[in-house]
């Protein structure tokens, strides 16, 4: 029955919801485009900022300190921003934090041109960029499942497209950053980073509907216009009355859910270790190798571009064939290719052509991972907890990133480049292999609960769930015989059933 008709469609459009049965690809395209722009700018900065510190100070330890000051606020602020995003809305958080990041990034070349940029001031600006990037990145990630629903795109396909965008940015960003640093200097690259943040903010503000993301916190009984009734969970006035207590209750829910999912917890801890090693590799080890080998910043951009291009190909393969691939096999193969070979080829001081080939293979393996692991997360986390659980999980996974550059810088200063490369590559291989052999990783090939569905208690406790629609188990043959014998006794002699 379509008695509501055009009136219902107009109400849906007024609150930012597509009409029933209508496919809206604009939100998904807007989210993915904004992710591409902001991630490309960040990739440019990842080349320009370490080279700027090395060129001005000549210290690997200070280079690692700058990376530490950027990633520590990123992780900490992102950890506690989940409930805020669920309450304020990911669209608003995304475009406002991108503007803050743009202002801080533009201040670095401006202050340096005025001869006002001291090293402590640089650390403060870098910390501000990291603090704003954390909630901004999380807000874009949270909007992907809802944008996929509006566009009627499968979650695995949406996660694959998000991985393709991430890898595309990782391809264009380092190559552009290396070229810009070599031709125009690192300060121009930082100005490009600021422009990318401004463009990403405009894309989010202009292409996404204002109601985007509010479905993450369902109301108990919505009114005719789809808004929570006063006093219901999710209503603005109810959230304001709870204040800080409501925030910490929501934050606790994310911790409880993550503790009850052994597979997600294993993935988070393993990715945390690999992220620490990757952060030290990209921010300290590769720049130091480029300087000691005489290849210069162009080699950094070339290696990053080749890795990103191969990872883009892997992400496309995963986006197209993810539903046909065995996830556990992808897990092993992807991390085996993406991890240790990069460290070993630089430690062996191989020719540039060999290093490019190894980085290409590693990039392809890395491109297979994120779409598959992203689909696992979207399947297992209920929609109302998506922002909070993603915030906690991603922050724990990135907790070692601030220490990566700091530890690698100190290790290179004391022990030299080659021993650190060998030790880090070995640690990468052992971490991913041992995690993949754990029993809970067998669940990678099993379908999750699906986004937006609540976890049942048996699943949180690690027990097998009943299949939907089965309230009772069929009685066994022995119990049937006992029931027939009891009926015969009640019927008495001479009567048959």
Q: Quote the pLDDT of residue 447.
A: 56
How does pLDDT run across 222-236, given as a tens digit for each residue? Answer: 444 444 444 444 444
Q: Quote the pLDDT of residue 229.
A: 45
Q: Quote the pLDDT of residue 290.
A: 86
Location of structure tokens 């650190």 = 420
pLDDT at 126 over 50: yes
Average pLDDT over residues 5-24: 46
SS3 466: coil
pLDDT at 417 over 70: yes
| pTM of the full structure | 0.61
Average pLDDT over residues 6-32: 57
Q: Quote the pLDDT of residue 103.
A: 92
228: β partners: 222
Give the rounded percent of residues in the chain with a pLDDT score beyond 90: 6
Phi and psi angles of residue 231, each rounded to the nearest 5 degrees, phi first:
90, -15
Please report, to the nearest 10 degrees, the dihedral formed by the alpha carbons of residues 133, 139, 145, 149 taken in order.
Answer: -130
Alpha-carbon dihedral sign for residues 77, 78, 80, 86: positive
Q: Quote the pLDDT of residue 477.
A: 59
Closest C-alpha to 70, from 469, 350, 359, 403: 403
Q: Quote the pLDDT of residue 381.
A: 78
How does pLDDT run across 331-370, given as a tens digit for each residue? Answer: 788 888 888 899 999 988 888 889 899 999 998 888 888 7
pLDDT at 190 over 60: yes
Give the rounded percent of residues in the chain with a pLDDT score beyond 70: 76
Structure tokens at 129: 């960029």
All domains in the chain, ordered by first residue: 23-214+246-453 (1.20.1250.20)
How does pLDDT run across 456-487, given as a tens digit for each residue? Answer: 444 444 434 444 444 444 555 566 667 777 76
Dist. CA 40–CA 107, nearest whole Å: 19
DSSP string, 272-287: HHHHHHHHHIIIIIHH
- Residue 446: band (very low, low, confident or very high) from pLDDT cuts 50, 70, 90: low
Q: Quote the pLDDT of residue 419.
A: 92
Q: Quote the pLDDT of residue 342.
A: 92
pLDDT at 256 over 50: yes
Q: Quote the pLDDT of residue 213.
A: 59
pLDDT at 265 over 50: yes
Dist. CA 192–CA 190, nearest whole Å: 5
Q: Quote the pLDDT of residue 326.
A: 77
Q: Which of 244-253, 259-268, 342-351 bottoms out in mean pLDDT, i.e. has the lowest?
A: 244-253
Closest C-alpha to 139, from 91, 88, 211, 102: 91
């Amino acid at each position: 029955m379509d008695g509501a008709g055009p009136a219902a469609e107009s109400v849906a459009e007024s609150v930012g919801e597509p009409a029933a049965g209508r496919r809206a690809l604009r939100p998904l395209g807007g989210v993915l485009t904004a992710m591409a722009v902001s991630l490309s700018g960040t990739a440019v900065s990842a080349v320009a900022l370490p080279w700027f510190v090395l060129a001005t100070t000549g210290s690997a330890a200070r280079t690692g300190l700058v990376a530490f000051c950027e990633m520590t606020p990123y992780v900490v602020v992102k950890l506690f921003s989940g409930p805020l995003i669920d309450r304020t809305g990911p669209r608003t958080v995304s475009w406002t934090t991108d503007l803050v990041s743009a202002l801080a990034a533009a201040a670095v070349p401006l202050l340096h041109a005025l001869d006002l940029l001291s090293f402590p001031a640089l650390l403060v600006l870098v910390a501000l960029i990291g603090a704003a990037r954390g909630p901004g990145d999380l807000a874009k990630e949270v909007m992907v499942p809802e944008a996929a629903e509006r566009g009627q795109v499968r979650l695995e396909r949406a996660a694959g497209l998000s991985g393709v965008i991430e890898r595309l940015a990782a391809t264009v960003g380092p190559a552009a950053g290396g070229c810009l640093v070599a031709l125009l200097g690192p300060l121009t690259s930082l100005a490009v980073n600021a422009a990318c943040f401004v463009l990403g903010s405009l894309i989010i503000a202009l292409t996404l509907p204002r109601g985007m993301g509010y479905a993450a916190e369902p109301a108990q009984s919505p009114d005719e216009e789809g808004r929570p009734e006063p006093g219901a969970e999710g209503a603005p006035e109810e959230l304001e009355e709870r204040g800080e207590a409501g925030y910490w209750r929501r934050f606790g829910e994310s911790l409880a859910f993550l503790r009850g999912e052994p597979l997600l917890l294993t993935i988070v801890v393993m990715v945390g270790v690999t992220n620490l090693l990757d952060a030290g590799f990209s921010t300290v080890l590769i720049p130091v190798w480029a300087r000691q080998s005489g290849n210069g910043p162009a080699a950094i951009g070339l290696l990053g571009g080749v890795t990103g291009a191969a990872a883009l190909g892997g992400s496309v393969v995963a986006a197209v064939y993810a539903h046909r691939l065995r996830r556990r096999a992808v897990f092993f193969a992807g991390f085996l290719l993406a991890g240790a070979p990069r460290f070993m080829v630089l430690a062996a001081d191989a020719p540039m052509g060999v290093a490019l080939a190894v980085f290409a293979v590693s990039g392809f393996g890395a491109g297979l991972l994120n779409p598959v692991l992203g689909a696992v997360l979207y399947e297992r986390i209920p929609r109302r907890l998506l922002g909070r659980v993603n915030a906690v999980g991603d922050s724990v996974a990135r907790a070692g990133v601030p220490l990566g550059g700091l530890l690698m810088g100190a290790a290179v200063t004391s022990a030299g480049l080659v021993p650190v490369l060998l030790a880090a590559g070995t640690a990468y291989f052992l971490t991913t292999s041992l995690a993949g052999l754990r029993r809970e990783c067998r669940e990678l090939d099993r379908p999750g609960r699906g986004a937006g569905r609540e976890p049942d208690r048996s699943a949180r406790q690690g027990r097998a769930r009943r299949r939907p629609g089965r309230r009772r188990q069929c009685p066994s043959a022995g119990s049937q015989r006992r029931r027939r014998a009891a009926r015969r006794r009640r019927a008495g002699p001479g009567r048959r059933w």
